[in-house]
Amino acid sequence: MILREFTVGPLQVRAYILACEDTLKAIIIDPAGSEKQLADNIKSLGLDLIAIVNTHGHPDHTCGNKRMKELTGAPVLMHRADDELFRDPGVVAMFRAWGFEPAPPTDGYLEDGQVLNVGNLSFEIMHTPGHSPGSVCIYGQGVIVTGDTLFIDAIGRTDLPGGDYNVLMNSLRTRILPLPDDTLVLPGHDYGPKPTDTLGGQKKTNPYLSQLA
């Protein structure tokens, strides 16, 4: 698997390119800034981008959707719950006051248990609500892209529209903790002492996971 990691946008979102080495099919996750640089990187690697995937609908993660789609022609995919919530006029107004314009509607919906086939690679969509109603993680090939569901030694905030701490903790307990300890956690922001860690490592050092383990 080809894995490329980038820090982009005003809130330092972690964007990821996941690609099949054999077929050069690829997806990009949360390309929320530096879209031209990301598109140029995809082109330089000879990749065929088949989808733009959002881990959730918060505008710091979706603000690059429109431009990335213009540059690559790839469709934008998101969970229905967040696509609908973040087009609500009240929510749009709140984030516009923060300086974010709403992203255009998604081109397709991600569903729990859905398998994204990227060339010869397969990634499972795991619905992990709590940070937002439509938060998802992308799991496969020994990695999990967690968006703002799980950070290194922390978890996502739950005080924004649609957030719920108890729901988030349940997502961590039922969906993420059962995964193999050697799974590499790729979070949506570099808020911890290091950019990535294994899930086994996080069970020992992340106070939110250690209380669930």
- Which residue, among 64, 26, 30, 18, has the nearest Cα to 188 in the 3D structure? 30
Span 115-123, mean pLDDT?
A: 98
Q: 124-161 burial, b if ≥16 CB within 10 A, otherwise e? A: ebbbbbbbbbbbbbbbbeebbbbbbbbbbbbbbebeee
Mean pLDDT in residue range 120-127: 98
Tell me the C-alpha distance between 77 and 75, whole Å: 7
Mean pLDDT is lowest, of 29-38, 107-116, 172-181, 197-206, for: 29-38
pLDDT at 20: 98
- Report the predicted TM-score, pTM, of the whole model to 2 decimal places: 0.94
Helix (H) or strand (E) holding 180: none
For 36-50, the pLDDT digits (tens) are: 999 999 999 999 999
Pick the more confident residue, 148 or 88.
148
Predicted local distance difference test score (pLDDT) of residue 10 = 82
State the Cα–Cα distance between residues 102 and 161, nearest whole angstrom: 15
pLDDT confidence of residue 124: 98
Q: How confident is the model at residue 71 (pLDDT cuts 50, 70, 90)?
A: very high
Identity of residue 35? E
CA nearest 41: which of 63, 64, 13, 18? 18
- The domains of the chain, with CATH numbers, are 2-210 (3.60.15.10)
Strands 121-127 and 150-151, how do they pair? unpaired
Residue 51's alpha-carbon distances to 48, 73, 146, 167, in angstroms, are 9, 9, 17, 28
pLDDT at 4: 96
Q: How many C-beta neighbours within 10 Å does residue 21 have?
A: 10
> Do the Cβ atoms of 149 and 137 come closer than 8 Å?
yes
Q: Give the model's pLDDT for residue 9.
A: 83
Of 165, 202, 186, nearest to 14 by C-alpha is: 186
Q: What is the mean pLDDT of the chain?
A: 93
Pairing of β 13-19 and β 2-8 = antiparallel
Question: According to the model, what pLDDT value does residue 51 have?
Answer: 98
pLDDT of 84: 85
Q: What are phi and psi of 4, to 5 degrees?
A: -125, 140
